[in-house]
Chain A
Amino acid sequence: MADWLRRHRGLVPYLFLVPGGLWLILFFVVPLITTASVALQEGSLGTGYRLTFNFDVFPDAITRWNVQLVRSLEYGLIVTALTMLIGYPMAYTIAFRGGRYKNILLLLVIMPFFTSFIIRTISWKFILADQGFVLGTLKDIGVLDQSFRLLATPAAVISGITYNFLPFVVLPLYVALERIDPRVVEAAADLYASRFQAFIRVTLPLSISGVFAASLLSFIPAVGDYLNAELLGSRNETMIGNVIQRLYLVNNDYPQASALSLILMIGILVSVFVYRRVLRGQELTV
């Protein structure tokens, strides 16, 4: 064995890939193929499904659910923008101004993970209930109209997703910003750059790989999210994840649900490639 390895030294890196590769095949490739196959079948749970290569399922699903597909992409973009607006200053402050509190601040960022995100989202339902602690009080003192509500509105759903994915954005941004040598910013200042110019022309480009990773980590799960719309939204905030969930688990309409899952996946892949193209001018190390 050792002899064999010595002679085929080039193969060693591939051997290291075997566990991860098997994992991917078992839990990614096989389910993906299954999903693709189910999408092309026709029938029902009771009578069984037959593979009929019914490709019409894709245009049909897009036509039927275009509102929810577009809404999901829309919410995903808004959430990504919001998490970036909130997360970048947070990560920046921790990386450059955190000093000896850096580790504590980072711990605070991941603290919410100590509780299941389902529980945290449900607690928002209690906090924001129409007659609950916050809104009830504001209504009683006359600040808000009696019929005002936050739950079951797009604002509630978008805030919920933003809240849930914020840590995923802060961490990669922090890693990217932390790596920047403060002396290059000083050098920019020495070359008569204003603080703003130094940020735009030095810090931001150097952290762009973090921005890329962070925006993917919020955009991809946000588009596919269904929990926030389920708990904090209503009919008018239905996202594509909710539609897929209902098609799978309530209607037992597996082909249409699988087709929509694939459409969602392809949609996300395409947007990621476009996004990457756009950022390509920058020094991209992703």
Chain B
Amino acid sequence: MTPHRTRTTFAILGLCLALILAACGIGPEDSAGPSPADPGDSGATDTAAPSESAVGGGEPEDELNFANWPLYIDQDDDGNSPTIQQFEESTGVDVTYTEAIEDNSSFFGTVQPALAAGQDTGYDIIVMTDWMIGNMARLGYLEPLDLARDVPNFLDNADQVYLERSYDPDNKYSVPWQSGITGIAYNPALVDEEITSMAQLLDPELIEKYCGQIGMFVEMRDSMSFAMLYNGVTPADATIEDAEAAQQVLLDQAPCVRDYYGNEYAQALADGSLAITMAWSGDVFQLQFDNPDLQFVVPEEGAILWTDNMAIPKGAQHPNAALAMMDYVYDPEVAAQVAEYVNYIAAVPGAKEIILQHAADAESDEDREYLETVANSPLVFPTQEMLDNLYSYKVLDEDEERQWNEMFQEVVQG
């Protein structure tokens, strides 16, 4: 292409760009015309929601599309989930189970356009962490549930702590899938002291000798909440000043942090790259089979109890099948089956007895030992003492979320 023609082409392109820019809006609701009620205006949908009637109350549909996180359900050697198969057999519902969720925010980013446009997302059950349930409920993106009518197993079998949850009062939109603890893990081969406090992870002087072997989480809420607990602040009550103080703690710690990790911290802990790190309880439980020395602690200042919850996105095509599934997994037998595999905290305390029963019936010593370890592990069935020292994330409004995100991005990316 000659330079002259290139220039003409660019000029034409530029003109088109200018014209189209003005006409073409992106996103859920853009500039075109007076905008409808602003759902982000917090409270607007909260007041609208109670008048909505709950979904369900009918026979399960033929299909169910279930989106969950990777490795979050039982799996046999062929890669099938017995839990899902038994549900299909007993109800006749054809379940499409996908491990579509890697991260709350990016998954929300993919379903948000459909939800904002009032369209079906293609999913009937999604599993989102507590704070995201709070956000989605506030935006009116979740179907309200009638637990007494459709999910009686939840009311009968769930642990008491799951009946009052700050992010979803009265269980209007969600029921827990699994919970877990964000605590501290360390490798005694590299650490010659006992880790009992947040200071041993966050205080620049105390971590000096482990510089470059400290791991933190790239998940903003986990890391910010840790720094708040260290500062003596209850994360759920944190103000913007508390967040700024937490950011300062993390910035002071940053020079000695090896990296801010997602799921891959587990590999770094296992291969000896990390001495002390933030960690999720279920991961450490599994790593301990390879390296029994690895320790998981709830520091004396407290740690985070998070919950991933099942919810039905607005406009879902198969709400009755979704409710049937929710009820089904609250059957203690099923809850035990899932807990034996995923090793996070089951919302059904009755599952413990059943796992012990399975252990007693186990055919091989190996299986029996494994099941007994699961049932007796405080990481799967935490003690009351542990539970008393666990805190929830704060449910942030949009402004707070933006501010906290900006503060935390400075921590992880400079």
Chain A residues with CB under 8 Å of B106's CB are 249-250
B159 on the interface (CB 8 Å rule)? no
Q: Is A250 a contact partner of B29 (Cβ separation < 8 A)?
A: no
Per-residue B-contact encoding for A120-164, CB less than 8 Å = 1, 0 else: 000001100111100010000000000101011000000000000
Q: Is A49 a contact partner of B26 (Cβ separation < 8 A)?
A: yes
B53 on the interface (CB 8 Å rule)? no
From residue A6, how far is it (CB to closest CB) to chain B in Å? 25
From residue A74, how far is it (CB to closest CB) to chain B in Å? 14
Chain A residues with CB under 8 Å of B29's CB are 47-49
From residue A117, how far is it (CB to closest CB) to chain B in Å? 17
Chain A residues with CB under 8 Å of B271's CB are 126, 129-132
Nearest residue in B to A136 (C-beta to C-beta)? B272
- Which of B67-75, B82-90, B257-265 makes up part of the contact surface? B257-265
From residue A145, how far is it (CB to closest CB) to chain B in Å? 12
Q: Is B103 a contact partner of A250 (Cβ separation < 8 A)?
A: yes
Per-residue A-contact encoding for B146-173, CB less than 8 Å = 1, 0 else: 0000000000000000000000000000
Q: Is B398 a contact partner of A38 (Cβ separation < 8 A)?
A: no
From residue A14, how far is it (CB to closest CB) to chain B in Å? 12
From residue A160, how far is it (CB to closest CB) to chain B in Å? 14
Most chain B CB neighbours (cut-off 10 Å) among A34, A125, A233, A249? A249
Q: Is B109 a contact partner of A151 (Cβ separation < 8 A)?
A: no
CB-CB under 8 A for A235 and B116, given A48-B28, A250-B103: no
A252 on the interface (CB 8 Å rule)? yes
Per-residue B-contact encoding for A47-90, CB less than 8 Å = 1, 0 else: 11111000000000000000110000000000000000000000
Q: Is B398 a contact partner of A234 (Cβ separation < 8 A)?
A: no
Chain B residues with CB under 8 Å of A43's CB are 27
Most chain B CB neighbours (cut-off 10 Å) among A41, A46, A126, A151? A46
Chain A residues with CB under 8 Å of B135's CB are 46
Q: Is A44 a contact partner of B405 (Cβ separation < 8 A)?
A: no
Cα A41 to Cα B27 in complex, Å, equals 9
From residue B102, how far is it (CB to closest CB) to chain A in Å? 9
Most chain B CB neighbours (cut-off 10 Å) among A125, A131, A149, A235? A235
Q: Is A38 a contact partner of B402 (Cβ separation < 8 A)?
A: no
Chain B 71-106 interface residues, beta-carbon cutoff 8 Å to A:
103, 105-106
Q: A238 is contacted by which of B13, B109, B413 (Cβ under 8 Å)? A: B413
Q: Is B257 a contact partner of A33 (Cβ separation < 8 A)?
A: no
From residue A9, how far is it (CB to closest CB) to chain B in Å? 19
Cα A245 to Cα B162 in complex, Å, equals 35
Cα A229 to Cα B90 in complex, Å, equals 49
A36 on the interface (CB 8 Å rule)? yes
Q: Is B27 a contact partner of A49 (Cβ separation < 8 A)?
A: yes
Q: Is B39 a contact partner of A47 (Cβ separation < 8 A)?
A: yes
Interface size class of A (residues with CB under 8 A): 35 or more
CB-CB under 8 A for A249 and B109, given A40-B21, A129-B273: yes
Q: Is B258 a contact partner of A152 (Cβ separation < 8 A)?
A: yes
Q: Is A34 a contact partner of B24 (Cβ separation < 8 A)?
A: yes
Q: Is B40 a contact partner of A250 (Cβ separation < 8 A)?
A: no
Chain B residues with CB under 8 Å of A254's CB are 26-27
Q: How many A-B residue pairs have CB under 8 A?
A: 140
Interface of A is mostly: mixed
CB-CB under 8 A for A235 and B254, given A33-B21, A36-B17, A252-B109: yes
Cα A267 to Cα B138 in complex, Å, equals 40
A243 on the interface (CB 8 Å rule)? yes
Nearest residue in A to B413 (C-beta to C-beta)? A238
Nearest residue in B to A153 (C-beta to C-beta)? B212
Chain B 103-157 interface residues, beta-carbon cutoff 8 Å to A:
103, 105-106, 108-109, 112, 116, 135, 138-139
Interface size class of B (residues with CB under 8 A): 35 or more
Chain A residues with CB under 8 Å of B361's CB are none
A251 on the interface (CB 8 Å rule)? yes
Q: Is B109 a contact partner of A68 (Cβ separation < 8 A)?
A: no
A282 on the interface (CB 8 Å rule)? no
A197 on the interface (CB 8 Å rule)? no
From residue B5, how far is it (CB to closest CB) to chain A in Å? 12
CB-CB under 8 A for A41 and B273, given A243-B413, A251-B105: no
CB-CB under 8 A for A45 and B414, given A131-B271, A252-B105: no
CB-CB under 8 A for A147 and B21, given A44-B398, A132-B271: no
CB-CB under 8 A for A234 and B257, given A67-B414, A130-B272: yes
Cα A131 to Cα B260 in complex, Å, equals 19
A22 on the interface (CB 8 Å rule)? no
Q: Is A33 a contact partner of B30 (Cβ separation < 8 A)?
A: no
Q: A242 is contacted by which of B24, B41, B112, B413 (Cβ under 8 Å)? A: B413
Q: Is B413 a contact partner of A45 (Cβ separation < 8 A)?
A: no
Chain B residues with CB under 8 Å of A136's CB are 272
Q: Is A252 a contact partner of B40 (Cβ separation < 8 A)?
A: no
Per-residue B-contact encoding for A19-37, CB less than 8 Å = 1, 0 else: 0000000000100111011
CB-CB under 8 A for A253 and B405, given A130-B272, A238-B413, A242-B413: yes
From residue B129, how far is it (CB to closest CB) to chain A in Å? 13
Nearest residue in A to B102 (C-beta to C-beta)? A249
Chain B residues with CB under 8 Å of A29's CB are 13, 16
B239 on the interface (CB 8 Å rule)? no
Cα A254 to Cα B405 in complex, Å, equals 13
B35 on the interface (CB 8 Å rule)? yes
Q: List 22 A-B contacts (CB under 8 A).
A: A29-B13, A29-B16, A33-B16, A33-B17, A33-B20, A33-B24, A36-B17, A37-B20, A37-B26, A38-B27, A51-B21, A51-B25, A51-B30, A125-B267, A129-B268, A149-B212, A233-B259, A236-B414, A243-B409, A248-B109, A249-B103, A253-B405
Inter-chain pairs besides A44-B398, A50-B31, A251-B405, 13 sampled, C-beta below 8 Å: A34-B26, A38-B27, A45-B27, A45-B109, A47-B41, A48-B30, A48-B35, A50-B35, A130-B272, A152-B212, A251-B409, A252-B108, A253-B402
Which A residues have a C-beta under 8 Å from some C-beta of B? 29, 32-34, 36-38, 40-41, 43-51, 67-68, 125-126, 129-132, 136, 147, 149, 151-152, 233-236, 238, 242-243, 246-254
CB-CB nearest 10 A-B residue pairs: A47-B40, A131-B272, A48-B29, A49-B27, A249-B106, A46-B40, A238-B413, A234-B259, A251-B405, A129-B271
